[in-house]
């Protein structure tokens, strides 16, 4: 297990969470863009955690199914975004636009996080 690669995999997630929290605390209000950034960061952290849990329990092959690795970050992303939007009373159109726009980086950065976290645990052809 390479902690350097695991830290490299989690770096984008931590960066997004810190940017989202800093933006929210600086503006003293939750807006659509920082809510999206915070949701993205938490979803990527959930993806790293899902890979670590799947590696930690090798006797449970259902944890390694691709649908689980796709569903965990999407559920966390949607739940966090909905909770932040409802708390801040952001319009549905603005939240929906930011939420849909956030799916592209979630897909792209999520692939990077998935590959690096899996490689850090010594699995696959890395």
pLDDT confidence bin for 63, thresholds 50/70/90? low
CA distances from 97 to 15, 33, 60, 81, 103 (A): 22, 10, 37, 12, 10
- Whether 125 is covered by a domain: the verdict is no
Over residues 16-61, the pLDDT tens digits come to 899 988 888 887 777 888 889 999 999 999 988 888 887 777 777 7
d(CA 99, CA 118): 27
The domain in which residue 21 lies consists of: 3-120
Over residues 93-121, the pLDDT tens digits come to 888 898 899 899 888 888 888 888 877 77
**Position 77 pLDDT exceeds 90:** yes
- Whether 85 is covered by a domain: the verdict is yes
- Whether 104 is covered by a domain: the verdict is yes
d(CA 38, CA 13): 9
Q: What is the pTM of this model?
A: 0.84
- Whether 126 is covered by a domain: the verdict is no
Number of domains the chain is built from: 1
- Whether 9 is covered by a domain: the verdict is yes
**Position 62 pLDDT exceeds 90:** no
Q: Is the dihedral of CA 17, 45, 36, 108 positive or negative?
A: positive
Q: Which of 26-30, 55-59, 64-68, 88-92 has the highest mean pLDDT?
A: 88-92
- Whether 82 is covered by a domain: the verdict is yes
The better pLDDT of the pair 14, 6 is held by 14
**What's the confidence (pLDDT) of residue 2?**
64
**What's the confidence (pLDDT) of residue 11?**
86
């Amino acid at each position: 297990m390479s902690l350097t690669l695991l830290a490299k995999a989690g770096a984008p997630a931590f960066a997004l969470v810190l940017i989202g929290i800093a933006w929210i605390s600086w503006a003293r209000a939750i807006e659509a863009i920082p809510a999206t950034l915070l949701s993205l960061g938490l979803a990527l952290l959930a993806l790293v955690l899902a890979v670590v849990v799947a590696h930690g329990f090798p006797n449970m092959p259902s944890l390694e199914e691709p649908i689980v690795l796709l569903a965990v970050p999407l559920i966390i992303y949607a739940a966090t975004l909905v909770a932040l939007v409802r708390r801040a009373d952001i319009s549905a159109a603005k939240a929906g636009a930011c939420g849909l726009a956030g799916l592209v980086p979630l897909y792209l950065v999520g692939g990077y996080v998935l590959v690096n976290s899996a490689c850090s645990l010594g699995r696959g052809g890395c």
